Structure 1
Amino acid sequence: MSEQRNIEEAVFGGGLTVRVSREVAEAAEPVLARLLADGVPAKLAAKDPTLWGPAAEAEAGIRLGWVDTFQRSRALLPQLAELREELGDLDHVVLAGMGGSSLAPEVISLTLGKQLTVLDTTDPGQVAAALGDRLDRTVVVVSSKSGGTVETDSHRRAYLQAFLDAGMSPAEAGRHFVVVTDPGSPLEATAREMGATVLLADSDVGGRYSALTAFGLVPTALAGIDVAELLDQAEEFATTLTGDLDNPAFLLGAAMGAAALAGRDKIALVDDGSGISGLGDWAEQLIAESTGKDGKGILPVVVETPTSAGATGSDVLTATVGGSLGVGAVPGSGVAPHVSVNGPLGAQFLCWEVATAVAGRVLGIDPFDQPNVTESKQNTNKILEAGLPAAAPSFTEGDIVGYGDASSLEDALRALLGAAGEHGYVAVMAYLDRFADADAAKVRELLAAASGRPVTFGWGPRFLHSTGQYHKGGPQVGAFLQITGEAAEDLAVPGRPYTFGRLQAAQAAGDRQALAGRDRPLLHLHLTDRAKGIAQLLEAAARLQPYKER
């Protein structure tokens, strides 16, 4: 079998298969050949920090622990079994974490069918709902590598106060916390003062590559998942990483990088319905934050189903993920993807991590830094101190107040979609309650159908820890729709001079400032009544003329 034919049909190994179309195979073949000629598989397995160039070497040198973290994570298993037994009466697991600290555990719990409450928001309604749910049976896993993440610190403060208000002593309240952080972080000291259980993570693994570290395993093990199985799957898959032709992760990385260089610099991530749930949300932050910098990058677009608008396009690499199906076998009459990745979840994590790092080398960027993430955080801190900047609305229509250049909602949406141009994208950023206001996410497909362009949807501030890096550091071709809303009731952040509502508003304003500083098209819609405003927005988006009918 020739090398090219092997690439075109499939590469299988370690329980996982990557299949690519003929078009992608032809583009990937020379890229993969170059990677193999340069000895990249063996160098990556050896954690060689020089793979991404001199400028990236220092950062890569302290961020390659993910290559074999599945081996070191086995030391956690006895601790986790013992901890679960000790906390057996606390059967409601809440994870307070952002970005890589929360997205992998959410995928694991969704896929393996165990309940885990993921708290990755500053929305006062969503936080209050979590606090009011089975408090006496709750264990809170507080996850933060740096220990200084403002959202996670606010969650910790709110839960601690709630436990104390429920009549617990400080020692009793401390028992309800498990803290996962890097050694020596401020959170480690705080946790020990609280009397919380502390589990230290691998300091040489960045947050978005931490799925198989304590960040991914602790909350899911407490939720009742056999995390040893995930490690077994990753270990089996790792045997393929030094191979030449039978190396699925390198084929995927070469395909992603080659496609981006050839103009397909957006990747549609679609669950194929064959046994893995929500992997796209995790892969979204991995790909966007790793590649979106220096004006380059691959934009991940999470698409609801294989038939949803936005799954295809002239600049889109269509990728399906799941447990068993291949190219062309997508349920729901979806079009055949360019790439399919099928295999167990532990192998999927390691495969996408390797592929993203490889794509970074192909694109010539450092996949381990995030130079633009702090900008919105700094803006937020300034706004919390000085107050929200004043702004005059351009229109008020029903339950929506608009800030932009247009005088009506429909005109504003049309103008925003038009601003994306032929090669751009539209990003919807909703600073709302992702459960109570879940219908807001339906606007993504409506705008994709109306524009013919890739449209992403992110819940704020969650997306700031993932696609937020791409928005600022990637190709400056995005048009942005920010949605905020009045909260029915606010909630104090104990020990801080602000509320959750004020923090949420400051984060939204800080991100608007970061985008405005880049002269990107931005439409801000504020919902004076969330439910009515969302319904009004969906109705307006549905009235826009579909792209294919123009």
Structure 2
Amino acid sequence: MSLSVSVHGLDVPDTVRGPLTEDDVPARLVAKDATLWGPEAESESAIRLGWLDLPATSRELVSRLADLRAELVGEGLDRIVLCGMGGSSLAPEVICRTAGVPLVVLDTTDPGQVLAAMDDLDRTVVVVSSKSGGTVETDSQRRAFIQAFADAGLDEKEIGRRFVVVTDPGSPLSETTAAMGARAVFLADPNVGGRYSALSAFGLVPSALAGADVGALLAEAEDLAVQLAEPDNPALQLGTVLGAAFRAGRDKLALAVGGSQGSGPQLQGFGDWAEQLIAESTGKEGRGILPVVLESVDAPGASGPDVLLGVVGSGAPALEPSVGVSGPLGAQFLGWEYATAVAGRVLGINPFDQPNVTESKENTQRILGEGLPEERPAATIGAIEVYGSGGVLDGVDLSSHDGVSLAIDALLASIPPRGYLAVMAYLDRQKDASAEGLRAALARRSDHAVTFGWGPRFLHSTGQYHKGGPQVGAFLQLTGVVAEDLQVPDQPYSFGTLQAAQAGGDRKALADRQRPLLHLHLTDRAAGLDQLLATLS
């Protein structure tokens, strides 16, 4: 079975479909025609289309990975920890959850979550995955694991044998790896961007080592790949639908897994992967498609005047307008990548660059160098300190016991027409998991789209849309007191400081755009989240 696309209640006009057919877009895309997105995008596009070949070119990895997994398991090393961000972590997470095999994904700087990932070191292998080789989160995690292995009594050679590295040729990480004596190094195709890398070494290496059948995944993608040059192939249909919805004013794509009964066991986590692909690819030059990952098909936010519902893994439901995309995971990866490239052409943007991603990173480095700025809360209510910028708290009386509720109401009221609210949680994804419930709770109180992202990983995905997309967002940032911090070895900062600097850097980027921002700092994380969820109930 390959990919199948069904559409309910959305007209795809000839003004969208016609130019794609007349310009022979399917065949030109498969031929890697870098001119498809205009002259300004051509230089970047020319070195970012290698993902089209991956179903075939990644085949050579399958036997090598099977041998490496057997070697590791034979030595009792059966726990895989993946240190990676954005495109380096989201695809392996979906692959392993879909396959039902365990993979520890460490895509955070939260010290509690980093410490938890260091359990069971005697059976742990660490996959360090970074395209650029200079990602601060991944480098910090690598340093911490080296120190943890040393503290456990391993010598330098034994430590090196606990690492597998995935990076681009010539990156700083490839040089570091040689000095470390890593067990294995996989150099990925440099002509594949991070968010299009699901079927490359970035997606396949950690997944195969964890026990997923990556050969079957590539076969699923190949079944679709042979169709992609044809007019009206399913991936082209999907890209056309996304573009037509945008042109019709439906620039929010609500993503859910499964049918009308809610999320099934298949393709779990796919929405998070598709979110970074679509948001980072299209959110620029003041326009873009905003993905909204839903808990189920009938969750709050599945409909609205600016919303297209997208259901992955089944046909479109009765709710209109909607698009259903059926098919196995490998075909879904390739199909959505192709569709996003097509939608980029319809939107008139370059789907392969990310011009605003570095801004928060640069702000973070500045804060790490200069120190965290002193900020005083506008109020402290229970376990929550309340801060605001962009005028969000102007005229709000925070002195009463329901001050948090009033602050949230003010934030919701600040969302402009056709705008959205983004919840950004710089917390522990495991221990503070209840924070995810805030998305649906806030969506019930608002007529606008509400998204949720864990920091700092969203900086590598929707963070691009926040800064480069339409400036109609309002933002709720959550931070919390660190109960147990962890120093980053050989660096002048801890993980807690790095996490706080990343949150502060992102606040500055949004403040510079004069976006309404409510920052809630939890002086006790569990109590603060309980208080916040109770306020919204």
**Distance in 1 between the 2:523 and 2:455 partners?**
18
- 1:393-432 Cα deviation digits (max 9, x unpaired): 1111000000022422111100111111331000000000
Letter in 2 for 1:75: E
**Is 1:219 matched up with 2:206?**
yes
**Is 1:186 matched up with 2:172?**
yes
Aligned equivalent of 1:488, options 471, 479, 483: 483
**Distance in 2 between the 1:119 and 1:254 partners?**
35
Aligned partner of 2:53 in structure 1 is 68
SS of structure 1 residue aligned to 2:109: coil
For residues 140-159 of structure 1, what are the structure 2 equivalents within 5 Å? Answer: 140-159=126-145
**Distance in 2 between the 1:210 and 1:486 partners?**
35
Aligned equivalent of 2:408, options 413, 424, 429: 413
Q: CA deviation at 1:30?
A: 3.5
For residues 25-424 of structure 1, what are the structure 2 equivalents within 5 Å? Answer: 26-88=11-73, 89-131=76-118, 133-196=119-182, 197-245=184-232, 247-272=233-258, 273-274=263-264, 275-322=266-313, 325-328=314-317, 335=319, 338-404=322-388, 405=393, 406=396, 407=398, 408-424=403-419
Q: CA deviation at 1:239?
A: 1.6
Q: CA deviation at 1:461?
A: 0.1
Structure 2 unaligned runs (5+)?
A: none
Letter in 2 for 1:307: D
Structure 1 unaligned runs (5+)?
A: 1-13, 330-334, 543-550
Letter in 2 for 1:470: Y
Q: TM-score, normalised by structure 2?
A: 0.95
Aligned partner of 1:545 in structure 2 is none
**Distance in 2 between the 1:175 and 1:496 partners?**
24
Q: CA deviation at 1:337?
A: 5.4
Aligned partner of 2:509 in structure 1 is 514
**Distance in 2 between the 1:270 and 1:428 partners?**
18
Q: CA deviation at 1:28?
A: 4.6
Aligned partner of 2:493 in structure 1 is 498
**Cα RMSD for the two superposed structures:** 1.0
**Distance in 2 between the 1:103 and 1:532 partners?**
30
**Is 1:428 matched up with 2:423?**
yes
Aligned partner of 1:538 in structure 2 is 533
Q: Is the 8 A contact 1:95 1:142 kept in 2?
A: yes
Q: Is the 8 A contact 1:328 1:337 kept in 2?
A: no
Which consecutive segments of 4 or more residues in structure 1 shift more than 3 A? none
**Distance in 1 between the 2:508 and 2:316 partners?**
42
Q: CA deviation at 1:336?
A: 5.3
Q: TM-score, normalised by structure 1?
A: 0.93
CA distance 1:337–1:135, change in 2 (3 Å): farther
Aligned partner of 1:471 in structure 2 is 466
- 1:209-251 Cα deviation digits (max 9, x unpaired): 0000000000000001110001001001112211113x11111
**Distance in 1 between the 2:83 and 2:458 partners?**
15
SS of structure 2 residue aligned to 1:365: coil
SS of structure 1 residue aligned to 2:12: helix
SS of structure 2 residue aligned to 1:436: coil
Letter in 1 for 2:269: G
Q: CA deviation at 1:327?
A: 2.0
- 1:81-139 Cα deviation digits (max 9, x unpaired): 121122112100000000000000000011110000000000000001111x2101000
**Distance in 1 between the 2:299 and 2:337 partners?**
26
Q: CA deviation at 1:258?
A: 1.2
**Distance in 1 between the 2:320 and 2:181 partners?**
53
**Distance in 1 between the 2:243 and 2:459 partners?**
24
**Distance in 1 between the 2:88 and 2:176 partners?**
18
Aligned partner of 1:332 in structure 2 is none
Q: CA deviation at 1:328?
A: 2.5
Q: Is the 8 A contact 1:254 1:358 kept in 2?
A: yes
Q: Is the 8 A contact 1:320 1:337 kept in 2?
A: no
Identity, in percent, stands at 64
CA distance 1:28–1:287, change in 2 (3 Å): farther
**Distance in 2 between the 1:222 and 1:498 partners?**
32
- 1:269-308 Cα deviation digits (max 9, x unpaired): 0011352211100000000000000001000000001121
SS of structure 2 residue aligned to 1:27: coil
Letter in 2 for 1:424: G
SS of structure 2 residue aligned to 1:451: coil
SS of structure 1 residue aligned to 2:177: helix
**Distance in 2 between the 1:476 and 1:422 partners?**
11
